[in-house]
Amino acid sequence: MKDIGGYFELDIPEISEIYHKEALAINFARYGLTYIINNYNIKELWVPYYTCTEVWKALEKTHCKIKFYNTDKNLLPAQDFSPDDFILYTNYFGICAQNVRNLCKKYKNVIVDNAQAFYMPHCGFADIYSCRKFFGVPDGGYVYCNNSKNIKLEQDKNSYKRFSHLLMRVEGGSNFGYSMFNQTENSFDSFDIKLMSELTTKLLKSFDYEKIKNNRLSNFKYLSDSLDEYNMFKFNITEEDVPMYYPFLTENKDLRKDLISNHIYLQECWRDIESKCSPNMYEMYLKKNLYLLIIDQRYNLDDMKKQVNIIKKHLNTGYI
């Protein structure tokens, strides 16, 4: 029954609809893959070496056999697959919409990992999205999976327990809440798949998705216009791409130290891939030399200029 009276809860304004309203809303994106495998009874799945360990951990909890594939310099699979193969493809950094479209045309069983591409339309055999990677929420993910077996899922009621680091960052900055953030992150593997909590659902109705999208695109464009000529990583984005990062590839050393000394903290994606990869793989080269520059909606063009100036100074190209 609905409570009437008593103390106030956290006041969250509802200004929008859920973005992926046709998808199944779950507590964690990593369990979306488990859900898809169980729904389709997938026995073998091709998985990129260049992906997060959470994917491997999720698969280890299923009956599904992992078969790894390499990616080329265009972040496409470096091999062909059989027509009936099931393939997991990562929409890397939110800039690989064209790769996704081409693969989905070529193969019928592509599962698209859109954890880094929240705004990408559903177009695969199945699709997975993460909320935490794009917004300040404690959990949340979406799954598009047509072959539902009417699996009964409970609703998650523990999002409030994963909220501390978000509030701590507001009060004291990223360093203040970092240990709590790690503690929360490390706890995720112990949970089971559930429906998205009411708290996270409310939070996801409080965002201006179009404004956030435009902010990200504006920041990305500034970095692209300023750094593309120095960037060893070449790419073309389409109208469907809303990036998570600006990927900057350089063999110059110690750039990360320069950025950290200026309070710029970059995500180190998939630092554990060396457990699966040999040292001479292209994936290991990216791990060592790819910098994922910040473009998200918390920041403006002055913040982008700060990143550019530090990088240009490091590369001895002068300030802008």
**Model pLDDT for residues 271-297, shown as the tens digit of each residue:** 788 888 899 999 999 999 999 999 999
Largest CA distance in the chain: 65
Q: What are the pLDDT digits (tens) for 58-105?
A: 888 888 999 999 999 999 999 999 999 999 999 999 999 999 999 999
- What's the pTM? 0.93
Q: Which residue blocks in 107-158 are alpha helix, DSSP H? A: none
- 94-147, pLDDT tens digit by residue? 999 999 999 999 999 999 999 999 999 999 999 999 999 999 999 999 999 876
Q: Name the architecture of domain 209-314.
A: Alpha-Beta Complex (3.90)
**CATH of region 24-148+156-204:** 3.40.640.10
Nearest to 260 by CA among 283, 233, 286, 291: 291
Would the CATH topology of 24-148+156-204 be identical to that of 209-314? no
Planar angle of CA 176, 182, 186, nearest 5 degrees: 160
Helix ranges, the chain (H): 30-40, 53-60, 97-106, 164-172, 174-187, 198-204, 209-227, 255-261, 282-289, 301-314
Write down the domain spans for the chain: 24-148+156-204, 209-314
